[in-house]
Structure 1
């Protein structure tokens, strides 16, 4: 075969292929998109916590008597398949309500709900997938607006809570008739006008102050009763002691008790025992009529020849010699000094002139 003819045939084939390439690519892309769309409307994946409802174009519409569970589901591309979340869900809602007096109250709600599994087909047919904004929130808000509109602002914090809860329960029962289970309605926050909130706080503060004063009065009464009982016990104790111990010995008995307690204590101490028969500490010596350290007084000398007494010096200048005699310019007669023992009526010592021998 002529090589030139072969080259011409190859060139014609390449030109034909190049001319047909664009339509082939366009056709392939169309088939690819159509296949993807078909697969998407044929194959459905039902995940965990989900359920599906089938709507058929040629078989009577919604299948209300059958709920499709988890897994892969295949349907014709002209049918529809709706997937619902059947777990407990939560939705938040902000609500502004007017009270009976015209004050605006802000409520922050949290609603927990879930669709009824067995009635999911009826819910899909009558309400649709957006049932929470169609039924749940409007029903709760309508009940709260109605009940709070009949109350004063301060009643919401006090006696109105029970009424609000009862109204919410009634709303939950009404919602359940629409094939929806409301688990709970939580009022997360109630914001009153500033003037009303301040008045409520002042009222509560005054109430607690009154309760504090009442408690202080009760405490004072209890303390008075305790002191009266204690005084009665001390009186009975003293009466018992007085009946067993002579009156002139009670102070000595107490002195012995105090001395024992001082002696057995763990503190550092110095005990000064008095003189006399009792030997009690100085502060408890009932017989002593002078202090432990009496103030020195001037001694007096009595002359038998003359009645007046003359004062001697306060110091011990009289002590000369071992005999204790007093010589005044070596002319005066000797005198005798008499001292009384401690613990008795200790007064300034009296010096009496003795006659010379």
Structure 2
């Protein structure tokens, strides 16, 4: 469109030159032809519009938003129409205490008061997209800054309004998923009314006050110590049971020996032991003596 406007200016210059005295009026025809060509080229180029993939175009004619939205591809349009491009791919808006993570510089985390009056810091990422058929509605009613007007304030309000129903420790541990589901439903409903589709809410980090963190760590350490002591006691009980069984076995063995062994059996066992010693390659045994008493064994080792 800029080329067409420039061509109109050149045409006006050609008309002015035509009314000028010689020799300037000799160039009027050339200037007029060039101006006409520029107008034609500008209008021709303005009639064709390419919408990139993942985007849609909203048409505005003399300040009025048109209903039909241009999808990706090549379109022939009214040269007087102004096109506003909207990104319909998934977008992420992050609010974090880390300076380099969020869209806003500095600490942009959400600070809320829990039901027990403690201040909790929450890092949040919102994954959303513009509904293609609602792009015209967004331009007409919200404008191009839908992130600053809708995404950011609705998300922060959802966090604050729901966090007050939970204790700080519950937000950090047992009720975290329940809390995330609630704010997900809240933001989904609010986004849908304004032409946005929520895809996912990510509660990335929940930071508790230092005193609460110290209390939790102390409790965890105490639980670990208790579990360790329980393991030690269980092990000692098993060892005591093993020794009891071993002692009972020895007692039973001694009882059997004292009641069931005869002199002949004892003499037989003695002879077996002496034979094992005599046939050992590591020792030479000399047996001296005899009778019912134990013999004397001498070794040359």
> TM exceeds 0.5?
yes
Equivalent residue number for residue 3 of structure 2: none
Q: CA separation of 1:154/1:119 partners in 2, compared to 1, >3 Å: closer, same or farther? A: same
Alignment of 1:50 with 2:63, yes or no, is no
Does the CA-based 8 Å contact 1:89-1:112 persist in structure 2?
yes
Q: CA separation of 1:19/1:92 partners in 2, compared to 1, >3 Å: closer, same or farther? A: same
Q: CA separation of 1:188/1:44 partners in 2, compared to 1, >3 Å: closer, same or farther? A: same
Equivalent residue number for residue 275 of structure 1: 287
Equivalent residue number for residue 352 of structure 1: none
Residues 66-105 of structure 1 aligned to structure 2 (within 5 Å) = 66-94=68-96, 95-100=109-114, 102-105=117-120
- The CA distance in 2 between the partners of 1:258 and 1:224, in whole Å, is 38
- The CA distance in 2 between the partners of 1:141 and 1:40, in whole Å, is 45
Question: Which structure shows the bigger proportion of residues in helix conformation?
Answer: 2
SS at match of 1:203: helix
Q: Which one has a bigger Cα radius of gyration?
A: 1
Higher normalized contact order (CA 8 Å, seq sep 6+, divided by chain length): 2
SS at match of 1:204: helix
- For structure 2, the residue ranges without an aligned partner over 5 or more in a row are 1-21, 97-108
Equivalent residue number for residue 343 of structure 1: none
Equivalent residue number for residue 185 of structure 1: 201
Does the CA-based 8 Å contact 1:97-1:149 persist in structure 2?
no
Does the CA-based 8 Å contact 1:51-1:70 persist in structure 2?
yes
1:243 Cα deviation (Å)? 6.6
| Residues 296-334 of structure 1: per-residue CA shift (max 9 Å, x gap) | xxxxxxxxxxxxxxxxxxxxxxxxxxxxxxxxxxxxxxx
| Residues 213-256 of structure 1: per-residue CA shift (max 9 Å, x gap) | 11221222233333434444555566666676437856974995
- For structure 1, the residue ranges without an aligned partner over 5 or more in a row are 1-15, 279-285, 294-357
- The CA distance in 2 between the partners of 1:255 and 1:99, in whole Å, is 90
SS at match of 1:220: helix
Does the CA-based 8 Å contact 1:242-1:250 persist in structure 2?
no
1:142 Cα deviation (Å)? 0.8
Residues 259-270 of structure 1 aligned to structure 2 (within 5 Å) = 270=282
- The CA distance in 2 between the partners of 1:229 and 1:88, in whole Å, is 69
TM-score (structure 1 length as normaliser): 0.57
Equivalent residue number for residue 62 of structure 1: 66
- The CA distance in 1 between the partners of 2:274 and 2:154, in whole Å, is 85
| Count of equivalent residues | 262
- The CA distance in 2 between the partners of 1:104 and 1:37, in whole Å, is 60
Equivalent residue number for residue 302 of structure 1: none
Give the RMSD, CA atoms, in angstroms: 4.5
1:121 Cα deviation (Å)? 3.8
Does the CA-based 8 Å contact 1:51-1:68 persist in structure 2?
yes
TM-score (structure 2 length as normaliser): 0.65
